[in-house]
């Protein structure tokens, strides 16, 4: 038969089965009739000829089945029947069905939940943004520096002008503003963005418009804003006439020109912004001055949307080539600087790069949980299959093929996993915002959602199929390989020999114990790491140190008035009872707010021809080092005399002194910072500036009084509660200016915990999934031991009759459970020694093979498994020997 005819027949067999069967019966009847007519022609009477034709033709029903098998559609035809039969079997054993579905729901649900987090925070973290796979992070590079940095606005414009493979460049800068509401003010968080921000991202405001191209130009010429949907609902109660109204941001009236759609929260992972303003308003939101024409000021954290069909490597080569030309054209500002593109999940400008490794480790953990759940269900199905041995024996004896039995059992497994997958997706939906709960609180609104889309559904379906193969295949193969002759002869008809079946079930429990031990070790290592982080020395004294900020930039204060106000306030704060010391600074450690940086030249240091030294610095007031607890190694602190009229001075850290003065005393040495000659008056101990994991780097401090600012951070050392300090600070601010309000006071420990949030997330998630794995492993051990006791009733009764005591039986059962646990722990320890080294990049000051962690995991595993064995052991010790021997 030609393949086209075969295909046509198979399609008809699927969708017109009754018509195909009628044609088959007609064809068989035709052949029988012809054979009957031949026998009649040979002299037989019609009835005898009919019987002879049937004998010659063979079994009609058998030929019908052979023809149906030849169509190649029998597998699909049997599926509805298998599904109906499988559902009846589930209804017949509701307890078994609930237990297996619950185990699988936990396993599949945990995987689906992590899929939603990866999808919603890493792969496609910006809701409503179209074609996120083509959106790349735009960042700068520095020769000799591994991290990615912002770029300048003039460089951004040149890239936009000269790159042909990029559909659009998008600029963004996170900013805060003082929002004046009547007689009070509060902080609002938003972004400075290029005019094409909304159009390039595919975001269409539900009211009004986005920004127009001309709003990229003009110094503070476009005081306009787009507000978020949440801001529109909360502050304006969803007023449809909000367009055209104004809000005071940093003392400047901004006209509302649009309302972002519901569900769009901005393009910074983890936060929900309240407003967006055009980049031309940069000076209004940046107290350091006007930077739109300064190629040396790098503040843009942007994006680039690739044209369709363009690869990341192609686009990266093009922007690097443009950056190379800019370096040649502007050596004074661009020497050693380049431009690169990164996928969204590698963004250095938010928490994505820190959360990603934790989610990868968590994904591995939940996959182990799925394997443990599947092994649990495999054991349950083996017990169930043993109870159905008579059914399988009869079906095989009546001619059912082993493949047919295998299909039926796999279908039943698929039904279980499908129901569990539906429950798992429900669990994932409930847990989609769990990351927001486990992350430390922020001052800006947190938004770290999971995203359930077709990709998550597809991955969940794949997990469902994998789970079916893992937990249903082994019992199905064991059942289909049943010894038919032996089962028919045996009164008890086992699937396998008792010893073989016991080995299989014990092997599955070993897998559960091993994987659970592995997860316990992983959770223990992360807990140790977090403990090490919390006790690490940041180079300053975090205990009792609190910070808040004073923003006079958004009010009517000029620099001179702001400086006078700050002096008066600092004196008042230092006089508060319970405050040990206080000082100002332009920045604080352990935040996403970058430090200022500047190119420097050091007297006596011969830089390489292409070396451009650019070092970060902080501007601080007198008393800063005493307040923060950073020791001065040599020299002096800043004083009030270090003001605008005094000679510029600086304090360098130990690393900077060692690198550029090579062991010589740095006191009295000179360095040039932005064309200003400064004298080093002190050397401070090294400290951490961005996070605890960073290596020591050059850093210096300059007096805040030599460059007064309207925006400062207040560092306060006190043993009082933050709320008490905030209340006292608020009273002092109000007494100086009733129109100003105090902002939230945070402890330095809170800030450090926030920067270590990935460790907190790892501890929480691995703790949850490790506990879940432990529970499933305990259920597995209990199930095996309980089943072993129930199947060994006669043997145990005989032991009692021969003189065994209850403690003897208790020891016997507990020893079997101990051997199972020991074997699983040994296998898990071997796996942990190889796999935990992959966690090195999320651990701090902890060996991946820490013996204390392994010992603690062993004790927990032994305790849980012993508890799981205790109940079956007690039941074995209470067996009635007379009753057991009669059964």
Q: Residue 694 falls within a domain, yes or no? A: yes
65 and 83 share a domain?
Answer: no
> Would the pTM count as exceeding 0.75?
no
Query: Given 496, 526, 555, which residue is the final one in a domain?
Result: 496
Q: Residue 798 falls within a domain, yes or no? A: no
Question: Which residues constitute the domain of residue 178?
Answer: 144-335
- 577: Cβ–Cβ under 8 A, 6 or more apart, which residues? none
pLDDT single digits (tens) 658-694: 989 887 899 999 999 877 899 999 999 999 998 887 8
252 and 156 share a domain?
Answer: yes
Q: Residue 360 falls within a domain, yes or no? A: yes
* pLDDT for the residue numbered 390: 60
Query: Given 54, 72, 90, which residue is the final one in a domain?
Result: 72
- Please give the average per-residue pLDDT across 256-264, as a whole number: 93
pLDDT single digits (tens) 290-329: 899 999 888 998 999 999 999 999 999 999 999 999 999 9
Residue 643: Cβ-neighbour burial (10 angstroms; 0-12, 13-18, 19+): middle
Q: What is the 3-state secondary structure (H, E, C) of 786-842?
A: HHHHHHCHHHHHHHHHCCCCHHHHHHHHHHHHHHHHHHHHHHHHHHHHHHHHHHHHH
318 and 261 share a domain?
Answer: yes
pLDDT, greater one: 199 or 74:
199
Q: Residue 9 falls within a domain, yes or no? A: yes
454 and 575 share a domain?
Answer: no
Q: Residue 294 falls within a domain, yes or no? A: yes
702 and 657 share a domain?
Answer: yes
Distance of alpha carbon 543 from alpha carbon 479, whole angstroms: 65
* pLDDT for the residue numbered 388: 63
175 and 268 share a domain?
Answer: yes
Residue 46 and residue 36 in contact, taking contact as beta carbons nearer than 8 Å: yes
Number of folded domains that form the chain: 4
Q: Residue 457 falls within a domain, yes or no? A: yes
Distance of alpha carbon 141 from alpha carbon 135, whole angstroms: 19
Distance of alpha carbon 473 from alpha carbon 382, whole angstroms: 11
Distance of alpha carbon 74 from alpha carbon 400, whole angstroms: 13
* pLDDT for the residue numbered 130: 87
Q: Residue 291 falls within a domain, yes or no? A: yes
pLDDT at 491 > cutoff 50: no
* pLDDT for the residue numbered 494: 35
pLDDT, greater one: 409 or 181:
409
pLDDT, greater one: 653 or 84:
653
Q: Residue 861 falls within a domain, yes or no? A: no
- Please give the average per-residue pLDDT across 607-626, as a whole number: 85
103 and 50 share a domain?
Answer: no
Percent above pLDDT 90 for the chain: 29
pLDDT single digits (tens) 533-572: 778 889 999 999 999 988 787 666 778 888 899 999 999 9
234 and 368 share a domain?
Answer: no
320 and 384 share a domain?
Answer: no
257 and 374 share a domain?
Answer: no
* pLDDT for the residue numbered 54: 75
Distance of alpha carbon 281 from alpha carbon 291, whole angstroms: 10
- 668: Cβ–Cβ under 8 A, 6 or more apart, which residues? 679, 680
368 and 454 share a domain?
Answer: yes
Distance of alpha carbon 337 from alpha carbon 155, whole angstroms: 11
485 and 399 share a domain?
Answer: yes
Query: Given 699, 724, 751, which residue is the final one in a domain?
Result: 751
């Amino acid at each position: 038969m030609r393949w086209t005819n075969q295909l046509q027949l198979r399609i008809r067999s699927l969708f017109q089965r009754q018509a195909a069967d009628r044609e088959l019966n007609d064809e068989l009847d035709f052949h029988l009739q012809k054979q009957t007519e031949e026998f009649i022609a040979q002299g037989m009477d019609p009835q005898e000829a009919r019987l002879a034709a049937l004998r010659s033709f063979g079994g009609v029903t058998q030929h019908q089945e052979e023809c149906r098998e030849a169509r190649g559609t029998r597998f699909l035809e049997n599926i509805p029947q298998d599904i109906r039969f499988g559902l009846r079997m589930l209804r017949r054993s509701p307890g078994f069905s609930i237990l297996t579905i619950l185990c699988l729901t936990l396993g599949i649900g945990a995987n689906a939940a992590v899929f939603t987090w990866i999808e919603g925070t890493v792969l496609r973290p910006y809701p409503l943004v179209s074609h996120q796979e083509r959106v790349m992070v735009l960042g700068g590079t520095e020769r000799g520096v591994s991290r990615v940095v912002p770029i300048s606005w003039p460089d951004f414009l040149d890239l936009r002008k000269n790159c042909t493979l990029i559909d659009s460049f998008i600029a963004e800068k996170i900013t805060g503003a003082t929002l004046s509401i009547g007689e009070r003010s509060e902080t609002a968080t938003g972004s400075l963005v290029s005019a094409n921000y909304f159009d390039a991202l595919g975001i269409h405001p539900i009211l009004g418009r986005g920004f127009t191209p001309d709003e990229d130009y003009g110094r503070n010429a476009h005081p306009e804003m787009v507000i978020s949907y949440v801001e529109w609902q909360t502050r304006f109660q969803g007023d449809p006439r909000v367009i055209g109204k104004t809000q005071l941001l940093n003392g400047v009236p901004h006209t509302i020109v649009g309302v972002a759609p519901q569900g769009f929260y901005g393009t910074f992972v983890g936060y929900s912004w309240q407003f967006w303003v055009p980049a031309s308003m940069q000076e209004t939101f940046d107290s350091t001055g006007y930077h739109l024409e300064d190629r040396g000021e790098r503040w843009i954290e942007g994006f680039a949307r690739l044209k369709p069909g363009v690869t990341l490597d192609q686009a990266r080569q093009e922007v690097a080539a443009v950056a190379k030309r800019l370096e040649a054209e502007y050596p004074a500002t661009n020497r050693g600087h380049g431009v690169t593109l990164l996928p969204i999940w590698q963004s250095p400008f938010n928490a994505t790069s820190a959360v990603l490794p934790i989610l990868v480790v968590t994904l591995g953990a939940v996959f182990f949980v799925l394997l443990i759940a599947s092994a649990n269900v495999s054991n349950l199905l083996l017990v169930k299959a043993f109870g159905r041995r008579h059914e399988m024996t009869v079906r095989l004896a009546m001619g059912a093929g082993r493949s047919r039995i295998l299909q039926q059992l796999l279908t039943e497994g698929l039904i279980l996993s499908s129901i569990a997958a539906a429950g798992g997706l429900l669990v994932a939906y409930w847990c989609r915002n769990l990351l927001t709960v486990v992350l430390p609180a922020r001052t800006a609104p947190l938004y770290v959602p999971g995203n359930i889309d077709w990709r998550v559904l597809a991955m969940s379906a794949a997990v469902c199929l994998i789970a079916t193969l893992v937990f249903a295949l082994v019992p199905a193969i064991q059942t289909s390989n049943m010894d038919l002759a032996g089962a028919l002869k045996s009164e008890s008809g086992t699937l396998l020999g008792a010893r073989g079946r016991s080995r299989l079930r014990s092997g599955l429990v070993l897998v559960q114990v091993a994987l659970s031990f592995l997860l316990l070790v992983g959770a223990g290592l992360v807990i140790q790491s977090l403990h090490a982080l919390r006790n690490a020395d940041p180079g300053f004294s975090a205990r009792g140190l609190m910070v808040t900020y004073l923003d006079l930039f958004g009010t009517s204060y000029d620099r001179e008035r702001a400086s006078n106000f700050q002096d008066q306030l600092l004196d008042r704060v230092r006089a508060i009872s319970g405050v040990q010391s206080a000082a100002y600074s332009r920045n604080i450690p352990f935040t996403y707010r970058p430090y200022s940086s500047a190119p420097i030249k050091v007297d006596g240091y011969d830089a390489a021809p292409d070396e451009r030294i650019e070092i970060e610095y902080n501007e601080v007031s007198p008393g800063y080092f005493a307040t923060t607890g950073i020791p001065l190694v040599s020299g002096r602190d800043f004083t009030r005399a270090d003001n605008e009229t005094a000679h510029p001075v600086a304090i360098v850290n130990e690393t900077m002194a060692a690198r550029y003065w090579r062991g010589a005393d740095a006191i009295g040495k000179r360095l040039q910072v932005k064309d200003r000659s400064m004298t080093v008056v002190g050397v401070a101990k090294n400290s951490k500036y961005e996070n605890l994991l960073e290596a020591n780097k050059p850093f210096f401090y300059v007096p805040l009084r030599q460059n007064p600012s309207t925006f400062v951070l207040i560092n306060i050392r006190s043993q009082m509660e933050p709320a008490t300090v905030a209340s006292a600070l608020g009273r002092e601010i109000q007494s100086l200016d009733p129109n100003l309000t105090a902002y939230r006071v945070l402890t330095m420990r809170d800030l450090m915990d926030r920067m270590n949030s990935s460790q907190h997330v790892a501890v929480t998630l691995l703790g949850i999934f490790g506990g879940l794995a432990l529970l499933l492993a305990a259920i597995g051990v209990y199930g095996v031991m309980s089943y072993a006791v129930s199947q060994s009733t006669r043997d145990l009764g005989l032991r009692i009759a021969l003189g065994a005591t209850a403690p003897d039986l208790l020891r016997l059962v507990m020893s079997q459970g101990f051997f199972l646990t020991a074997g699983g722990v040994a296998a898990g320890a071997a796996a942990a020694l190889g796999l935990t080294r992959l966690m090195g990049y999320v651990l701090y000051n902890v060996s991946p093979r820490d013996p204390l962690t392994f010992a603690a995991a062993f004790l927990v595993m032994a305790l849980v498994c012993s508890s799981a064995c205790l109940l079956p052991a007690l039941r074995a010790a209470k067996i009635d020997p007379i009753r057991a021997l009669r059964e």
